[in-house]
Structure 1
């Protein structure tokens, strides 16, 4: 069975077109009452538009944000801050430009900034992380309990039953909730938050150039229960991570306050950064110090799929969607350097090459011909589509916002899949060693097809506990156990993400083991690791399977 996501994109996210217009619109308004005071313990900043916030002198915590007379900050006696709080820090305040108040927090090698602009109900945040000497993987805005709804997949009740690692819960009806179930990839959203009748509070994400994981990573965005709620911006999200941590300046990311609508001012700084140039932030590079890539097109596309072009090196990452009609793309705001450019069909890398970007210039690329799409190979049979995701398989529609054990999920066992009769929706999106071992495929070969060695390909999206497929053909021949692919060491499949390092296993089946007529294939999840048992046992997500 399948079920719809409880999240309404209309409720949670505003239109991308409206946001793009807003980001491109410079803010010039000033407001009476704008400025700051010192109450002896905090710097108190008044935006002059309805938002007053406080930053602690001693540790840089955001200890209060009062919007139109209502305090929204804090739960459990805790403030909003980097990680779980920096502790003793050097905190200073200044007005580096007209209509801007800037608070600087220095803690060891880490520098964190809060900025306010006159007439805006936004708190702009920037975090410079130089190394790992300071634990700083996130910023959390803590929100008071009882204000915002707890009806989303990433919110829960304190009375719900813990079913995994103290952060996945089951309700009485067997449906599941977790802070991990935001159900959005980074490329899918510009801001995320909570909305109530009196106010909405949003985190507008940064451009993520110093984050890791690329455009398709799914991060913890919020949580909520009767004890309070939280909104997050991650500087480095370790859950299911595929890349090393990057260092430098993250931001601006923004805590934005509205009366229920989506953010409507130029809050992100991704398109309107001129005002930031004057602030003197450590690690900041303005528009004049950046370049762009202009691609003339992609040849060999399958136009039934979306394409994305990503560029990344050890210091930064960027991406852009490819125009579905023309195949053209522009990746903007890139720091100078040499990058690996990757073309993704869906989420599957189908082309890579190196490209160099220069400040203040455009690097133009001629039409790229895609040659790395496995779907271009002629197959005797194929289950699923080569796109880097389990889309179309059984339960694939819900795994990003529910635990695999959720009562709304169909059985993970699937009987025998019959080539030519069964549809992709009968094949499970995931295979778990202790849940659905021994998946079966029945297929027919002609005498000519059975007379030659055949290659079976199994594409996975990620794996848990070194899980990888081992095959048996016609109950007589079992493949060698392949080496485990390099995949994230943390949970993914049970916390809302199928994403890892897409890998394809290939098995050469000797002709002597094939039959003219009906053949059977058995697939087992194998590993030298025990994993955590059940849905945490060695496992992997499927991309596609085919026989060449």
Structure 2
């Protein structure tokens, strides 16, 4: 099947995670050791260094500012839209740019103040390997964007607004004629969910293969923009620090490589994926801040006890300089995290996305730090507490609540969303799926939960818990139980930017607790007690940008 010269056939867009099989990735992976391919080398056209990989890829780097000014694959130019190049942030400005060849590798080095940036080509490969070393805040964020010409890859995915002319929010959330919302923010994916992002026509694939994110911020569950498609063209991103919905301070130092990879339509080679990619060929290139495999260590845990086997567990390592993570084996909790920079880290065990255990671990170069079985104390998992009733599950996410899945790739106003209102009767069935994932001051504040108590239960005080995953504009729940009204709780620390409307519930998990006295309950056991949940805040604007919060779980303890 083929398209017309002016409009490629629309094909399925690839957005795949680490478990995805690599497709027909001709010349997509590292060749070790690569022979010198015919045509491999570089020239100087006066304005750019022109690098020919000796395969099917020729790219140019500006000698003035380090922009990637051309990406020609099999004779077709892919780079550029709106008169803009591909670059760090929105372009670096005047930089010192040099080039050198070392055997089968060509390295372009860019220095802009304290920031250093690198492009590498390997003989016979259709890849551009990219590193960025950010030393301080003189560059506001750490983002690389590959700008792709319009019309080469067409799609109608949630992060495409080519056919979405109506603005819904700010200048980055749009609606199609049928009301379905689109935004560059609507990737659906957490960092841990994907190894690469991009498009395929079936004959050509263009991908951004992410780095290991050791110098990024936000951890394995961070959500950010990854890709977009508009009438002007497309963009592929490597986001290492983005000011939106951040839960951690910025990390500095060398990050990479991330890889711009072309294929003959299939997925990029799995040898390029973070955790698989080896770069011994870069050890002697002089990349500032580069640490070879021999200068790194490993952490391995023999198991984790005290898990709820209905959930996936992740182990993270983090300090101010670096972050890493790995999956715990479902059978016994075994985990292994390799390629770790030396240092002392906080080790965190996550049940889903909820932290249930932490400890300190030290990593040394060239060695494995082996940990004995980690035991999660029962009290660390709120799901272990005995409850009279519970809505949702304590896993650090709004999963299972009404509209929760849709909100990672749509605006709350999207017509596919069920009504954000709706009260819940405990014992009626389907309580979690009927309860909204998000609550806003202007939209659905005042949700009601109806429940009955036995005489013994009504004779005692109980603790009510509401777990949240993030909040916008300091939104937090104040509760009323029958005639008893709680105090207004203090707001926990949360990101100050948009979250609930741009595809992310990921903030700082926090549990609000309310000590409800026995006098608050109805003494007639045939009557329903009524819990009312209001969102309070002195901040925010209106509608879906009024103060709001995302729900993890709520329960009344026995």
Fold-level match, TM-score > 0.5? yes
Does the alignment pair 1:482 with 2:482?
no
CA pair 400-418 structure 1, distance change in 2 beyond 3 A: same
Deviates further, 321-330 or 192-201: 192-201
CA pair 326-24 structure 1, distance change in 2 beyond 3 A: farther
1:211-222 map, 5 Å: 211-222=216-227
Whole-angstrom CA distance in 1 between matches of 2:138 and 2:419: 46
Whole-angstrom CA distance in 1 between matches of 2:490 and 2:384: 26
| Contact 2:389/2:426, CA 8 A, preserved across alignment | no
Whole-angstrom CA distance in 1 between matches of 2:375 and 2:29: 34
1:347-386 map, 5 Å: 347-371=353-377, 372-386=380-394
Aligned to 2:7: none
Return the offset for 1:150: 3.1
Return the offset for 1:278: 1.6
Q: 2:554 aligns with which of 542, 545, 548?
A: 545
Return the offset for 1:235: 2.2
TM-score, normalised to structure 1's length?
A: 0.95
Return the offset for 1:171: 1.1
Whole-angstrom CA distance in 1 between matches of 2:447 and 2:115: 50
SS of the aligned residue for 1:380 comes to: strand
| Contact 1:122/1:267, CA 8 A, preserved across alignment | no
Aligned to 2:506: 499
- Offset from partner CA, 1:508-543 (integer Å, 9 cap, x none): 0011111232211000001121x1210011100000
| Contact 1:27/1:265, CA 8 A, preserved across alignment | no
Whole-angstrom CA distance in 2 between matches of 1:356 and 1:459: 32
1:515-526 map, 5 Å: 515-516=522-523, 517=525, 518-526=528-536
Aligned to 1:318: 324
1:90-129 map, 5 Å: 90-95=96-101, 97-129=102-134
| Contact 2:165/2:175, CA 8 A, preserved across alignment | yes
| Contact 2:298/2:338, CA 8 A, preserved across alignment | yes
Whole-angstrom CA distance in 1 between matches of 2:193 and 2:29: 16
| Contact 2:164/2:182, CA 8 A, preserved across alignment | no
CA pair 24-424 structure 1, distance change in 2 beyond 3 A: farther
Whole-angstrom CA distance in 2 between matches of 1:159 and 1:265: 34
Aligned to 1:281: 287
Return the offset for 1:366: 0.9
Unpaired runs of 5+ residues, structure 2, are: 1-9
Return the offset for 1:416: 3.7
| Contact 1:150/1:225, CA 8 A, preserved across alignment | no
CA pair 167-308 structure 1, distance change in 2 beyond 3 A: same
| Contact 1:308/1:343, CA 8 A, preserved across alignment | yes
SS of the aligned residue for 1:162 comes to: strand
CA pair 452-362 structure 1, distance change in 2 beyond 3 A: same
| Contact 1:213/1:242, CA 8 A, preserved across alignment | yes
- Offset from partner CA, 1:304-343 (integer Å, 9 cap, x none): 1100000100000000011111210001111111110000
Whole-angstrom CA distance in 1 between matches of 2:20 and 2:175: 37
Does the alignment pair 1:401 with 2:409?
yes
Return the offset for 1:441: 0.5
Aligned to 2:4: none
SS of the aligned residue for 1:448 comes to: helix
Whole-angstrom CA distance in 2 between matches of 1:493 and 1:26: 45
SS of the aligned residue for 2:339 comes to: strand
TM-score, normalised to structure 2's length?
A: 0.94
| Contact 2:11/2:201, CA 8 A, preserved across alignment | no
Whole-angstrom CA distance in 2 between matches of 1:17 and 1:361: 31
| Contact 1:55/1:63, CA 8 A, preserved across alignment | yes
Does the alignment pair 1:239 with 2:239?
no
Does the alignment pair 1:249 with 2:240?
no
Unpaired runs of 5+ residues, structure 1, are: 1-6
Q: 2:352 aligns with which of 343, 346, 350?
A: 346
Aligned to 1:4: none
- Offset from partner CA, 1:16-39 (integer Å, 9 cap, x none): 364599979845343111000011
Return the offset for 1:15: 6.2
Whole-angstrom CA distance in 1 between matches of 2:234 and 2:80: 9
Whole-angstrom CA distance in 2 between matches of 1:51 and 1:421: 58
Return the offset for 1:135: 3.2
Return the offset for 1:200: 1.2
SS of the aligned residue for 1:445 comes to: coil
Return the offset for 1:268: 4.7
SS of the aligned residue for 1:235 comes to: strand
SS of the aligned residue for 1:245 comes to: coil
Return the offset for 1:198: 3.8
